[in-house]
């Protein structure tokens, strides 16, 4: 049975493969070359997971419509006025 290309993996599949590489590294039974390859594969799977999450976030993100600024009331002057009791 042939393996799926890495790009065609679902989020769940990539996460499972990432977890498998992480467990293999934690067990410490890999040679240096195998550990280096496990880290590289883990990074690829992690990037796939991040891309899938970002795509899902864009699908469900709701952005509020920009609200117009309230217009000034017509009876409000544009400039501050001095208190009326000081005007004589």
Residues 27-68 have pLDDT tens digits of 999 999 999 999 999 999 999 999 999 999 988 877 777 778
Hey, which of 16-20, 55-59, 81-85 has the most confident mean pLDDT? 16-20
Provide the pLDDT for residue 2.
Answer: 47
Provide the pLDDT for residue 77.
Answer: 57
Q: What is the pTM of this model?
A: 0.61
Using CA atoms, how far apart are residues 53 and 82, in angstroms rounded to an integer?
A: 58
Q: Residues 49, 12: contact at Cβ < 8 Å? A: no
Provide the pLDDT for residue 4.
Answer: 64
């Amino acid at each position: 049975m042939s393996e799926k290309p890495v790009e065609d993996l679902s989020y769940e599949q990539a996460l499972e493969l990432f977890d498998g590489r992480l467990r293999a590294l934690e067990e410490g039974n890999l040679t240096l070359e195998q550990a280096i390859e496990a880290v590289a594969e883990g990074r690829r799977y992690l990037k796939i997971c991040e891309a899938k999450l970002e795509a899902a976030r864009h699908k469900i993100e709701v952005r509020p419509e920009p609200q117009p600024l309230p217009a000034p009331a017509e009876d409000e002057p544009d400039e501050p006025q001095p208190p009326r009791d000081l005007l004589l």
